[in-house]
Structure 1
Amino acid sequence: MNGTVTPDAYGTLIEPTTLKIQRLLPGPIERVWAYLTESDLRSQWLAAGQMEMKVGSTFELVWRNDELTDPPGTRPPGHSEEHRLESQVTELDPPHKLAITWGGTGGVAFELEPQGDKVLLTIVHHRISDRSTLLGVSAGWHTHLDILVARLTDQKPEPLWDEWVRLKVEYEQRLQV
């Protein structure tokens, strides 16, 4: 397989409070980078928000999860139609690495590595403080990455909320800490 790594779709704990999740995506790397950094493309799988490509720049991520899949599935209690998060670029090496702050956690790093005609995306979410947040974040990244894969391969993604609820239960079993 030309040395290409095919990662498990599930996130794993690489430290007690650090989640790592990977996906092998169709390239080229510049296309995947655009889906991480350009608001109009990122809003198709994660969250909108104009991001200046400069370390130290601040921006706001805006989630509208009900708009990511059709149908969106049943939104769980406690989740709103829109969620906003102030963030800041903390590391930047286009088109290989982007790291940003993420609310009350230690931040998120996105790394891209070419693998033939594909790109390995590795997301590391640092210092997730409690189990409930860890389960939500794990299911969230997994669901959003599945939507990204669907967008990049012209497939129809599964209903976001139904997948998130299902995956949260799976992560509760998988991430025993």
Structure 2
Amino acid sequence: MKSLSLDFRFKSPIEKVWFALTDSNTLSKWMMFRENDFKPVVGHKFQFRMEPTGGWNGIIEGEVLEVDEPHRLSYTWVSAGESNTVTWTLKQDEDGTTHVHLDQTDISSEQALSGATYGWQSMAKQLENVLAEL
């Protein structure tokens, strides 16, 4: 199994970044999944949904595993034969910059790892734009 580990820096306070990672309406503004029923509640089962493409139904199934506001969020990420865990870890510097570390574990193939890397990097750019508007 493979793991993805990415680091991002946002010039926004940790509370704002946490809000963008956990608010359903805000998630739909920066994630490629325009519909979701996410709630930051341990045990909550949710879906991220987009238009189906190329034989994929466009649905990510998940369950919230950990909520430690505003420092840590973890949930399952299940779709197209993959069953991963996504964990966000947030830390704020004295200057107000928020460091965000993303881990996605149990990725089964290089193709899935490559797709996840591209997807998260692309969505992080959108997240930066959304944070500027909040």
Cα distance in structure 2, aligned partners of 1:148 and 1:53: 18
- Aligned position for 1:57: 44
SS class of match (2:36): coil
Q: Deviations over 1:127-177 (max 9, x none)?
A: 1101111111111111111111222235xxxxxxxxxxxxxxxxxxxxxxx
Q: Deviations over 1:84-127 (max 9, x none)?
A: 21100011101111100011233100111111211001110001
CA RMSD between the two structures: 2.0
Q: Deviations over 1:15-66 (max 9, x none)?
A: x6111111101221111111101111111111342323321111111236xx
- TM-score, normalised to structure 1, is 0.65
Matched residues, percent identical?
27
Q: Does 1:137 align with 2:113?
A: no
CA deviation after TM superposition for structure 1 residue 79, in Å: 7.6
SS class of match (1:85): strand
Q: Does 1:107 align with 2:85?
A: yes
Cα distance in structure 1, aligned partners of 2:55 and 2:132: 28
Q: Which has the higher contact order (CA 8 A, sep 6+)?
A: 2
Cα distance in structure 1, aligned partners of 2:66 and 2:121: 23
Cα distance in structure 2, aligned partners of 1:146 and 1:112: 17
- Aligned position for 2:14: 29
Cα distance in structure 2, aligned partners of 1:96 and 1:119: 10
- Aligned position for 2:67: 92
SS class of match (1:102): strand
Q: Does 1:19 align with 2:4?
A: yes
Unaligned runs of 5+ in 1: 1-15, 65-76, 155-177
- Aligned position for 1:119: 98
Question: For the Cα contact (< 8 Å) 1:128–1:134, is it kept in 2?
Answer: yes
Cα distance in structure 2, aligned partners of 1:52 and 1:43: 13
Larger Rg: 1
Cα distance in structure 1, aligned partners of 2:100 and 2:39: 21
